[in-house]
């Protein structure tokens, strides 16, 4: 799907960020139509190019350095290489800032100030600049200077405390969730903050500084479970695969696989007891309230449900629950996700042309914002090769001559 006039058409973003959280934020802006220029270190590039376990295979022996981390967070960007630690690189960056709307960076606190590339310095060049700094712990405070990575914040912010097998069961203890969710959600918070700042600029005419911290995101992500603690003063227990709202909500073991059940309302539970042929469970004093079904006696109820569900296949269970209007979903391994009819219908596997890939394309994950009726998020560019757009931007847009480009390259500036 394409849109001639995209939501962020005409907005230019300078992306000086690396690895994952901030690059995701810049990518979202690119998906919405912004011109995102990724600024990377000459010869090295974004550290994220080396993260992950898989890389896009290049054609004709080309090493793409498109790792899974880099590929998932850098589409819709153009890449230039620039050594901002050298005066010549700083001069080029300042020229780019003059025509930019947004700058996103995730260097350590105070790092860019050494080079005159902090917000106050660049605001003097472009008062309309929205400058977003993404760090682990924020710009101020006793831990501001510390580096931060996703797993640290899952531990610090409370996510691990509420994830994992309940105490008293084999393997009990806190558990890190699989994907780098704190990074991912921080990227979304970055994009939201930038969009808000652009809206404010449209009203006021001035840009602003944005301080985004992974710590803040990690605490906010615990959401209603953390709010439960703030209300009651009691830390909710880890529930394994159990739901955090109503019950029963957990994995159902079937004859040939697994289904996740969420019968969290009184009516859903009543329908389930009828479907199971055990309507007396609806008034059983062990299970006659949501808190008993979802927390106090959850394990006992799930044992009863699993004794019933093991007599049916996944397909049979899903069909019966659908017919009864009880929310449920098949558990999928990663390969099975892409076989789901609704996933295919939503076109969530986005095959994108890639000039340097052996296959000539790369499969990406479609943006969840792709279904906007008038200004949908789109994928227009595969993630860039390191410095792929040096000439296009530095020469074609800033007007550097061939001779100057060669001088800068020889000096390690680009």
Just list the catalytic residues: 183
Q: Quick check: helix, strand or coil at residue 147?
A: coil
Q: Kindly report each contact of residues 196-203 with a partner whose C-beta sits within 8 Å and lies 24 or more positions away, as own/partner.
A: 197/130, 197/132, 198/11, 198/101, 198/102, 198/130, 201/128, 201/130
Q: Tokens 């695969």, residue?
A: 241
- Per the structure block, which two tokens stand in for 133? 């700094």
200: exposed, middle or buried (Cβ count in 10 Å: 0-12, 13-18, 19+): middle
Say how far apart CA 227 and CA 383 lie, in whole Å.
39
- Per the structure block, which two tokens stand in for 170? 């084999």
Question: CB–CB of 136/152 below 8 Å?
Answer: yes
- Which is nearest to 295 in space by CA: 252, 251, 237? 237
Say how far apart CA 192 and CA 115 lie, in whole Å.
28
Residue 137 DSSP label? S
């Amino acid at each position: 799907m394409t849109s001639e006039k995209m939501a962020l058409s005409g907005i230019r973003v300078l992306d000086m960020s690396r690895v994952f959280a901030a690059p995701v934020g810049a990518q979202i802006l690119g998906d919405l139509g912004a011109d995102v220029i990724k600024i990377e270190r000459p010869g090295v590039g974004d550290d994220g190019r080396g993260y992950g376990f898989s890389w896009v295979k290049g054609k004709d022996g080309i090493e793409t350095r498109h790792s899974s981390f880099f590929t998932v967070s850098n589409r819709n960007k153009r890449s230039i290489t620039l050594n901002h630690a050298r005066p010549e690189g700083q001069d080029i960056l300042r020229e780019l800032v003059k025509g930019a709307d947004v700058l996103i960076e995730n260097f350590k606190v105070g790092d860019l100030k050494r080079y005159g590339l902090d917000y106050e310095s660049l605001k003097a060049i472009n008062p309309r600049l929205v400058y977003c700094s993404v760090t682990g712990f924020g710009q101020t405070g006793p831990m501001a200077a510390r580096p931060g990575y996703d797993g640290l914040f899952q531990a610090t912010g409370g996510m691990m405390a509420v994830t994992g097998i309940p105490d008293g069961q084999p393997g009990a203890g806190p558990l890190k969730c699989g994907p780098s969710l704190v990074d991912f959600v921080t990227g979304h918070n970055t994009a939201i903050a930038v969009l808000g700042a652009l809206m404010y600029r449209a009203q006021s005419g001035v840009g602003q500084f944005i301080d985004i911290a992974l710590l803040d995101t990690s605490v906010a992500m615990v959401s209603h479970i953390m709010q439960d603690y703030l209300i009651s003063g009691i830390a909710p227990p880890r529930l394994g695969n159990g739901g955090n709202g109503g019950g029963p909500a957990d994995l159902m073991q079937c004859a040939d696989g697994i289904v996740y059940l969420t019968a969290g309302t009184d009516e859903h539970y009543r329908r389930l007891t009828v479907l199971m042929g055990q309507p007396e469970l609806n008034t059983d004093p062990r299970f006659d309230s949501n808190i008993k079904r979802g927390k106090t006696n959850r394990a006992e109820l799930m044992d009863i449900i699993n004794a019933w569900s093991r007599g049916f296949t996944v397909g049979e269970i899903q069909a019966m629950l659908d017919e009864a209007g009880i929310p449920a979903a098949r558990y999928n391994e990663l390969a099975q996700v892409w076989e789901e009819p609704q996933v295919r219908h939503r076109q969530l596997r986005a095959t994108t042309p890639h000039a340097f890939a052996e296959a000539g394309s790369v499969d990406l994950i479609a943006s969840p914002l792709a279904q906007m009726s008038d200004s949908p998020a789109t994928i227009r560019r595969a993630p860039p090769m390191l410095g792929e757009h040096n000439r296009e931007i530095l020469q074609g847009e800033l007007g550097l001559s061939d001779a100057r480009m060669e001088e800068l390259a020889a000096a390690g500036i680009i």
